[in-house]
Chains A and B, each alone.
Chain A
Amino acid sequence: MSFQPILTAGLDPATGDATWHLDDYVKRGGYAALKKIFAENITPEAVIAEVKKSSLRGRGGAGFPSGLKWSFMPKAYAGAKYLCCNSDEGEPGTFKDRDLLRYNPHQVIEGMAIAAYAMGTERGYNYIHGEVWELYDRFEQALAEARAAGYIGQNILGSNFSFELFAHHGYGAYICGEETALLDSIEGKKGQPRYKPPFPASFGLYGKPTTINNTETFAAVPWIINNGGDKYLELGKPNNGGSKLFSVSGHVVRPGNYEVPMGLPFAELLKMAGGIRGGRRLKACIPGGSSAPVLPAEIVMECTMDYDSIAKAGSMLGSGAVIVMDESTCMVRALERLSYFYFEESCGQCTPCREGTGWLYRVVHRIEHGQGRPDDLDLLNSVTDNIMGRTICALGDAASLPVRSFIKHFAAEFEYHIEHKKCLVPPEVQKEGSKIYVRPSC
């Protein structure tokens, strides 16, 4: 049976900017799941059980089982509880939530309303990456439509369940994609991650029980309720249920988002994106966003796109951001740019990360610029040893994993730089590979 997309069903990027409204979504079968819950008196426990059955795992990067996360929320809690959607999509390579919010914001709203019902939450926020301001505006409009139609607000669809949902925007801080930094940011503070425990399910937004899920996770929920958790699981692989949006960027003919069943061979995904440009060969791929370890071509070509296969190959599926690099790429230069990013975005709270990311960037920078020293690779590995596991949040690890994996898989290229004070890949080849890409018209 051929795979039918579920997150992007009926959406066409060519016309999508005109068909995101409530009426369009309802025409595509939208809000049927929310209606079904009230029409069939499905209990909150049954909703959570269905999501558990689906094996839906967090699509933001960590891959934590969503149903299990929902079951952590205290049931008999007297005060307010909160639900947050993490649309602070800033992991280099990731641009899937942007399309979901752009073409189908009501799917996210419906998923959040169902999640809120399942956890008995009466108020929620969608935290939207500040750089996609047009989509923040659009989400506000979608909320107004949903409110007017009774899908959110007081006594939803005539039931005694109420859920208010609002949009909150970021303003340029990668770290706010970390869930507790996101909570501090909603509270009107610097977005700096909190110690865990306590976990948000017990001490979250304003100190109240809170659940945070990624945009794509919420977007999958209506389909699961409409079609059943078993059906969703069947789309993918055991323990890796459903479909997934992969953001393919870099040296492919058609960069973009591709919704595929979990477990699709990487080679197939690469083919869908049109393969490598200009007849060049694949050199390496970061399969799960910039924080995931890089994999050389020969390893990634053997992988299937699911949490378990990518983990077995030594990387992470992460957010599903597939950064493709061909043979024109200088791996030292690529790492230099990523290391600069983590240096720039470290929130500065933990010393190993604040100082360590600067060290990583400066040492990779000097290798790239012909000033590398013979013991620099050992130094880099030692700095990562002193960052990893010694920080409050995962940004320190995220800065370290690329460094370790680039050195591990492309040691010869780094050593060449240090010894010969220049790139192994000739400058003119690099220039050709990184020039402004004009995509084919169709």
Chain B
Amino acid sequence: MLSDDAFKKIDREIAKYPADQKQSAVMAALAIAQDENGYLAQETIAAVADYLGMAPMAAFEVASFYNMYDLAPLGRYKLTVCTNLPCALSGGVDAAEYLKQKLGIAFNETTPDGLFTLKQGECLGACGDAPVLLMNNKRMCSFMTTEAIDQLLTELRADLRGQAT
């Protein structure tokens, strides 16, 4: 379910907290698990809970509360576009519309090839760089003009071809 490498990473997180507070590592552990599996299945959440000595329900509460955890499979690349007011004033909504049109999907949909999932995001904390989007939770893409969006999509598709060969 989770690799030894993932558990090693989780161990490093556990070490940050007092010995009797392993549960504090649950957010990091769930993020590690999601990175490995692409999303958090019920069994994965239960495995994390078990490892940290907490009730599965308590781990599920965390997984369902924080919106960067994905509880269902999604595209290989999750693109979260901020459309909140400061971004919207600089084209956040237009950037999202452009992506919808390029990918042929609406928010919360995945392209038929399983490559891209589009999400509407709340404030990413980078309003000065608007329009901004977050790729797979980890990479902040700033100043997303239509050219920058085209470039990103090309890059991600090329990455994938590189991995396939």
Query: In the assembly, what is the distance between CA of A338 and CA of B88, in Å?
Result: 11
| CB under 8 Å from chain A, chain B span 4-32 | 16-18, 21, 23-28, 30-31
- Whether A345 contacts B127 by the Cβ 8 Å rule is no
Q: Is the CB of A172 within 8 A of B67?
A: yes
A186 to B66 Cα, complex, angstroms:
13
Q: When each residue 120-155 of chain A gets 1 if its CB lies under 8 Å from chain B and 0 otherwise, what string results?
A: 000101000111111000000000000000000000
B143 contacts which chain A residues (CB < 8 A)?
A: 439
Q: Which residues of A contact B52 (CB under 8 A)?
A: 188
Chain B proximity of A206: nearest CB distance (Å): 6
Task: Indicate if the CB atoms of A345 and B122 lie closer than 8 Å.
Answer: yes
> Does B124 touch A at the CB level, under 8 Å?
yes
Interface size of A in residues (CB-CB distance below 8 Å): 63
Q: Is B130 an interface residue (CB 8 A)?
A: yes
Rounded to whole Å, the gap between the CB of A211 and the closest CB of chain B is 17
Stretch in contact with the other chain, from B79-87, B101-109, B110-118, B153-161:
B79-87
Complex CA gap A257/B25 in Å reads 33
Assess whether A50 is interfacial by the CB under 8 Å rule: no
- Who on chain B is nearest to A164 by CB? B16
- Which residues of chain A have C-beta atoms less than 8 A from B123's C-beta? 90-94, 174, 290, 341
Known contacts A189-B61, A250-B89; decide if A133 and B83 are in contact (CB<8 Å). Answer: no
Select A435's contact among B25, B26, B91, beta carbons within 8 Å: B91
Query: Does B137 belong to the interface (CB within 8 Å)?
Result: yes
Residues in chain B near residue A90, CB distance under 8 A: 122-123, 125
Give CA–CA (A173, B66) in the complex, Å.
Answer: 5
Query: In the complex, which of the residues B23, B86, B122, B144 contacts A188, with contact meaning CB atoms closer than 8 Å?
Result: B23
CB distance from B123 to the nearest CB of A (A): 4
Within 8 A of A (CB), among B116-165: 121-131, 134, 137-140, 143-146
Contact indicator A325/B58 (Cβ below 8 Å): no
Query: CB of A95 within 8 A of chain B?
Result: yes
| A199 beta carbon closer than 8 Å to chain B | no
The answer to whether residues A435 and B94 also contact, given A130-B68, A131-B134, A168-B16 and a CB cut-off of 8 A, is: yes
Assembly CA distance A347 to B66 (angstroms):
10
Q: Which residues of A contact B129 (CB under 8 A)?
A: 95, 255
Interface residue? A390 (CB, 8 A): no
- Report the bound CA distance from A329 to B137 in whole Å: 30
Is B95 at the interface (CB under 8 A from chain A)?
A: yes
Measured between beta carbons, the chain B residues less than 8 angstroms from A80 are 18
Q: Which of B88, B126, B130, B137 contacts A130 (CB 8 A)?
A: B137
B74 at the interface (CB under 8 A from A): no
Among B86, B129, B143, residue most surrounded by chain A Cβ atoms (within 10 Å): B86
Query: With an 8 A cutoff between CB atoms, is B39 at the interface?
Result: no
Minimum CB–CB distance from A173 to chain B (whole Å) comes to: 5
Show 12 A/B contacts (Cβ-Cβ < 8 Å), sorted by A: A92-B86, A131-B121, A166-B17, A167-B16, A187-B24, A188-B26, A190-B61, A249-B86, A249-B127, A250-B89, A325-B89, A434-B94
Chain A residues in contact with chain B, CB under 8 A? 80, 89-95, 97-98, 123, 125, 129-134, 166-174, 185-191, 206, 247-251, 255-257, 290, 321, 323-325, 329, 334, 337-338, 341, 344-345, 347, 433-439
- The 5 tightest CB contacts between A and B, nearest first, are A436-B91, A188-B23, A172-B68, A172-B67, A249-B86
